A and B are shown apart, each in its own frame.
Chain A
Amino acid sequence: MAKATVREAEAYNMLVKGFHPPRQVARNFIKAYMVGGSICVVGQIILDYLVAKGVPFVQASSMTSSTMVFLGALLTGLGIYDEIGRFAGMGSALPITGFANSIVSPAMEFKREGFVLGVSARMFQIAGPVLVYGALSSIIVSILKVFVF
């Protein structure tokens, strides 16, 4: 049979699964924990410094995020962040530096296709959905919180 029936396909998928190498769940968890935690420590150092300088907390927090975005962007530009990501997985993808990486990497990647339809159009290839779902979920949550409960 060229195209397997649903049952054949299910059986084959089961068979194949047995040959997959096991995911190193515990090791990956620790790696993500270490790297993700360390990135947050860098953020905390910046935050503490700004607060100590007398910057109001909310503003200091925004400035910290922006600085972390800059660092993520720079490390992506230098070709280092993808190496960190290969090691740490979500440990470097989940912090806001990873959000910056998801914006800078397609921007750089599609530079050769031009600065309008390449860089700018592709920039939010991965970050776009994050913004869309961030907006959707937070709007629903806020409406419920402010006007319903």
Chain B
Amino acid sequence: MTLVRAFLVGGLLCGLAQLILDTTKANPAIIMVSAVSVGAVLSGLGLYGPLVTLGGAGATIPLTGFGHLLVTGMVEDATRSGLFGILTGGFRAASAALMAAIIFGYLMSVLFNPKG
């Protein structure tokens, strides 16, 4: 059941992003950037948390989930240690994915050549 919900929610987010790509002048990079910001705003409004409960990975894997993750981390640290927590919280929460992206990115560029 979790799998079905992940499919429905994740697919919907991707489908909406595609809809925006096809009906506006936005390019993929702009949509990726916007998705993170939209996720952060929805998170701030308290809407993204329930979406994660509903969709599980379907809500955390799309980039909107990345915005949510940053806000969650910041809010957690800020409630614990005040304003300074805003600076530490975001990337603390997102650190695993970012480190993985850098390390694997570098590794793949060592191992593989682009095929064109």
Contact = CB atoms under 8 A, between A and B. Distances in A.
A19 interface: no
A114 B115 CA distance: 18
Dominant SS among interface residues on chain B: helix
A130 B106 contact: no
Contacts of B35: 94
Nearest to A43: B57
Interface string A97-136: 1111011110111010001000110010011011101111
Contacts of B86: 139, 142-143, 146
A5 to B, nearest CB: 23
A44 B57 contact: yes
Interface of A is mostly: helix
Interface string A1-36: 000000000000000000000011100111111111
Q: Among A40, A69, A119, A139, find the residue whose CB has the most chain B CB atoms closer than 10 A.
A: A40
Contacts, number: 266
Nearest to A122: B109
Contact of B11 (A33, A65, A68): A33
Contacts of A102: 29, 32
A96 B62 contact: yes
Interface in B33-79: 33-37, 40-41, 43-44, 55-58, 60-67, 70-71, 74-75, 78-79
The interface centre, meaning the residue of A127, A134, A136 with most chain B CB atoms within 10 A of its CB, is: A134
23 contacts: A25-B19, A28-B22, A40-B61, A44-B2, A45-B3, A47-B57, A48-B2, A62-B96, A66-B96, A68-B61, A70-B104, A95-B62, A100-B100, A100-B105, A103-B101, A108-B109, A109-B114, A126-B32, A134-B37, A137-B36, A137-B37, A138-B74, A142-B86
